[in-house]
Amino acid sequence: MVQEFKTLFEEIGGTETIEKLVEAFYPRVYADPILSPLFEGDIEEIKQKQRMFLTQFLGGPPLYSQEFGPPAMKQRHMPFEISPKRAERWLSCMKDAFKETGLDQNSAAGPFYDRLMQVAAIMVNSFE
Protein backbone atom coordinates (compact mmCIF):
# COMPACT_ATOMS: atom_id res chain seq x y z
CA MET A 1 0.00 0.00 0.00
CA VAL A 2 1.36 3.40 -1.02
CA GLN A 3 0.59 6.22 1.34
CA GLU A 4 0.08 9.63 -0.26
CA PHE A 5 2.21 12.40 1.23
CA LYS A 6 0.66 15.82 1.68
CA THR A 7 2.56 18.96 2.53
CA LEU A 8 1.44 21.15 5.40
CA PHE A 9 0.46 23.66 2.71
CA GLU A 10 -1.99 21.15 1.25
CA GLU A 11 -3.16 19.93 4.66
CA ILE A 12 -4.14 23.39 5.88
CA GLY A 13 -6.09 24.18 2.71
CA GLY A 14 -3.48 25.84 0.50
CA THR A 15 -3.62 29.34 -0.88
CA GLU A 16 -7.11 30.11 0.41
CA THR A 17 -6.14 29.38 4.02
CA ILE A 18 -2.86 31.30 3.75
CA GLU A 19 -4.79 34.31 2.42
CA LYS A 20 -7.30 34.19 5.30
CA LEU A 21 -4.52 33.76 7.87
CA VAL A 22 -2.49 36.70 6.58
CA GLU A 23 -5.60 38.91 6.47
CA ALA A 24 -6.43 37.98 10.08
CA PHE A 25 -2.84 38.29 11.31
CA TYR A 26 -1.65 41.69 10.12
CA PRO A 27 -4.36 43.89 11.67
CA ARG A 28 -3.33 42.36 15.00
CA VAL A 29 0.35 43.06 14.41
CA TYR A 30 -0.27 46.66 13.34
CA ALA A 31 -2.50 47.21 16.40
CA ASP A 32 0.05 45.79 18.85
CA PRO A 33 2.14 48.61 20.38
CA ILE A 34 5.12 46.29 20.90
CA LEU A 35 5.13 44.89 17.36
CA SER A 36 3.86 47.76 15.23
CA PRO A 37 7.18 49.67 15.19
CA LEU A 38 8.70 46.71 13.33
CA PHE A 39 6.09 46.80 10.57
CA GLU A 40 6.47 50.15 8.91
CA GLY A 41 5.79 50.48 5.24
CA ASP A 42 3.17 49.31 2.80
CA ILE A 43 1.00 46.73 4.58
CA GLU A 44 -0.08 45.24 1.25
CA GLU A 45 3.53 44.60 0.23
CA ILE A 46 4.29 43.08 3.65
CA LYS A 47 1.21 40.84 3.44
CA GLN A 48 2.17 39.70 -0.06
CA LYS A 49 5.66 38.74 1.11
CA GLN A 50 4.14 36.86 4.05
CA ARG A 51 1.75 34.96 1.76
CA MET A 52 4.66 34.00 -0.49
CA PHE A 53 6.86 33.01 2.44
CA LEU A 54 4.21 30.94 4.24
CA THR A 55 3.31 29.13 1.02
CA GLN A 56 6.93 28.10 0.55
CA PHE A 57 7.53 27.50 4.27
CA LEU A 58 4.71 24.96 4.36
CA GLY A 59 5.84 23.05 1.28
CA GLY A 60 3.90 24.85 -1.43
CA PRO A 61 5.41 26.47 -4.51
CA PRO A 62 8.67 28.37 -3.82
CA LEU A 63 7.08 31.74 -4.49
CA TYR A 64 9.26 33.71 -2.10
CA SER A 65 12.54 32.33 -3.43
CA GLN A 66 11.48 32.85 -7.03
CA GLU A 67 11.02 36.56 -6.43
CA PHE A 68 13.45 37.43 -3.63
CA GLY A 69 15.98 34.60 -3.45
CA PRO A 70 16.44 32.31 -0.47
CA PRO A 71 14.30 33.35 2.51
CA ALA A 72 17.24 33.75 4.95
CA MET A 73 14.70 35.24 7.38
CA LYS A 74 17.11 35.69 10.28
CA GLN A 75 19.43 37.77 8.10
CA ARG A 76 16.59 39.75 6.58
CA HIS A 77 15.30 40.65 10.05
CA MET A 78 18.66 41.56 11.64
CA PRO A 79 18.07 45.32 11.23
CA PHE A 80 15.03 44.99 13.49
CA GLU A 81 15.24 44.59 17.25
CA ILE A 82 13.45 41.32 17.93
CA SER A 83 13.31 40.54 21.62
CA PRO A 84 11.89 37.41 23.24
CA LYS A 85 8.86 39.53 24.20
CA ARG A 86 8.32 40.60 20.60
CA ALA A 87 8.68 37.01 19.39
CA GLU A 88 6.10 35.95 21.97
CA ARG A 89 3.69 38.70 20.90
CA TRP A 90 4.15 37.75 17.23
CA LEU A 91 3.24 34.16 18.08
CA SER A 92 0.25 35.33 20.11
CA CYS A 93 -1.05 37.34 17.14
CA MET A 94 -0.57 34.29 14.93
CA LYS A 95 -2.38 32.04 17.41
CA ASP A 96 -5.30 34.48 17.51
CA ALA A 97 -5.34 34.53 13.69
CA PHE A 98 -5.41 30.71 13.69
CA LYS A 99 -8.51 30.89 15.91
CA GLU A 100 -10.23 33.60 13.88
CA THR A 101 -9.81 31.68 10.63
CA GLY A 102 -10.69 28.28 12.10
CA LEU A 103 -7.22 27.00 11.27
CA ASP A 104 -6.85 25.97 14.90
CA GLN A 105 -9.41 23.22 14.18
CA ASN A 106 -7.29 21.74 11.38
CA SER A 107 -5.19 18.67 12.25
CA ALA A 108 -2.14 20.31 10.64
CA ALA A 109 -2.39 23.41 12.84
CA GLY A 110 -0.19 21.93 15.56
CA PRO A 111 2.75 21.08 13.29
CA PHE A 112 2.37 24.44 11.52
CA TYR A 113 2.39 26.38 14.80
CA ASP A 114 5.34 24.32 16.08
CA ARG A 115 7.33 25.42 13.03
CA LEU A 116 6.35 29.04 13.65
CA MET A 117 7.58 28.75 17.25
CA GLN A 118 10.95 27.58 15.91
CA VAL A 119 11.11 30.53 13.52
CA ALA A 120 10.19 32.98 16.29
CA ALA A 121 12.97 31.62 18.51
CA ILE A 122 15.53 31.86 15.70
CA MET A 123 14.58 35.47 14.96
CA VAL A 124 15.41 36.76 18.45
CA ASN A 125 18.42 39.05 18.16
CA SER A 126 17.99 41.33 21.16
CA PHE A 127 17.48 40.66 24.84
CA GLU A 128 15.93 44.03 25.71
pLDDT per position as a tens digit, 3-50: 788 999 999 999 999 999 999 999 999 999 999 999 888 899 999 999
Residue by residue, DSSP assigns the chain as -PPPP--HHHHHTHHHHHHHHHHHHHHHHHH-TTTGGG--S-HHHHHHHHHHHHHHHTTS--HHHHHHSS--HHHHHTTS---HHHHHHHHHHHHHHHHHHTGGGSTTHHHHHHHHHHHHHHH-----
70 in any annotated domain = yes
| Cα–Cα distance, 128 to 11 (Å, whole number) | 37
5 in any annotated domain = no
| Cα–Cα distance, 110 to 113 (Å, whole number) | 5
The CATH number covering residue 50 comes to: 1.10.490.10
128 in any annotated domain = no
Burial of 2 (0-12, 13-18, 19+ CB in 10 A): exposed
Domains: count for the chain: 1
In the predicted structure, residue 1 carries a pLDDT above the cut 80: no
58 in any annotated domain = yes
3 in any annotated domain = no
15 in any annotated domain = yes
User: Which pLDDT score is estimated for 77?
Assistant: 86
Q: Which domain holds residue 90?
A: 10-123
119 in any annotated domain = yes
- pLDDT band for position 128 (50/70/90)? low
Q: How many CA atoms lie within 13 A of 116 on its CB side?
A: 22
Which pTM value belongs to this model? 0.92
| Cα–Cα distance, 50 to 68 (Å, whole number) | 12
42 in any annotated domain = yes
What one-letter code names the amino acid at 112?
A: F
In the predicted structure, residue 55 carries a pLDDT above the cut 80: yes
